Amino acid sequence: MKLICIGRNYNNHIAELQNKRPHDPLVFLKPDSAILLKNQPFFIPEFSDNIQYEVELIVKINRVGKYIAPDYAAKYYDQIGLGIDFTARDLQQDLKQKGLPWEKAKAFDGSAVIGNWVSKSNFKNIDQLSFGLKKNGCLVQSGNSQQMLWNIDELIAYVSQYFTLKIGDVIFTGTPAGVGAVAAGDTLTGYIEKEEFFSVKIK
């Protein structure tokens, strides 16, 4: 399986990091070793002094597809979840300034939280899903899928032009504003429509 991640898919997050709005979805990958094992804490790596959380809606691919048309993209997933794209922001900024790839800042071990999966039929409208992240019980990020520059079906269609999608692949769909640093002792809890999808302790 592979983790396909989308950057800069919410205008308010683009603005908070002072980035430019992309003409096309910004795509990067994480290996399966980036997945944080269920019920395990996230250990802050020694190579960064600024690990930041980014909560994101995620979808799991349920059939093989290539060059998928947007009108048919909904057939390629039936589960929705919530995750965190942990980012070594200090390392990422250094890599960006040097024009280098982001993998060391985005794809390190444990950098991908994958919460519970539920059927997308649980929701009335996938394009109007509210979600959020609490740090130590305080809401720090909130968003709604209707704020995406490219919705889920459009992302699947776009990504499938470049990568064959396979059963079990996961797409991280981007994060809204409110990203911030974690510290040892923090607890991060993610919600979709007020239902808890994960809780992660930071060490």
The three-state secondary structure class of 185 is coil
Please count the helices (runs of H) and the strands (runs of E) in the chain. Answer: 4, 13
Query: Which residue type sits at 4?
Result: I
Question: Which domain range does residue 116 map to?
Answer: 3-201
- In DSSP terms, 192 is beta-bridged to 131, 195
With contact defined as beta carbons under 8 Å apart, do 153 and 74 qualify? yes
What is the C-alpha separation between 80 and 78, in angstroms, rounded?
Answer: 7
Count other Cβ atoms within 10 Å, centred on residue 48: 19
pLDDT number for residue 18: 59
Residue 83 has which token pair?
């995750």
Residue matched to tokens 């409208």: 125
With contact defined as beta carbons under 8 Å apart, do 197 and 93 qualify? no
**What confidence tens digit (pLDDT) does each residue in 20-69 have?**
666 789 999 999 999 999 889 999 999 999 999 999 999 999 999 999 99
pLDDT number for residue 24: 87
Number of domains in the chain: 1
Residue 22 has which token pair?
């992309």
Strands (E), the chain: 3-7, 26-30, 51-53, 55-61, 77-85, 87-88, 112-119, 130-135, 138-144, 170-172, 180-181, 187-192, 195-201
Identify the burial level of 180 via C-beta atoms within 10 angstroms of its C-beta, where 0-12 means exposed, 13-18 middle and 19 or more buried: middle
Q: pTM to 2 decimals?
A: 0.94
- Written in H, E and C, the secondary structure of 27-77 is EEEECHHHECCCCCCECCCCCCCCEEECEEEEEEECCCECCCCHHHHHHHE
Which of 120, 167, 169, 177 has the alpha carbon at shortest distance from 144? 177
Here the CATH number for the domain that contains residue 96 is: 3.90.850.10
- In DSSP terms, 61 is beta-bridged to 77
Helix (H) or strand (E) holding 4: strand 3-7
Cα dist from 173 to 83, 119, 144, whole Å: 10, 17, 11
pLDDT number for residue 6: 95
Residue 5 has which token pair?
């991640």
Which residues, given as ranges, of the chain have pLDDT below 70?
Answer: 11-22
pLDDT number for residue 177: 87
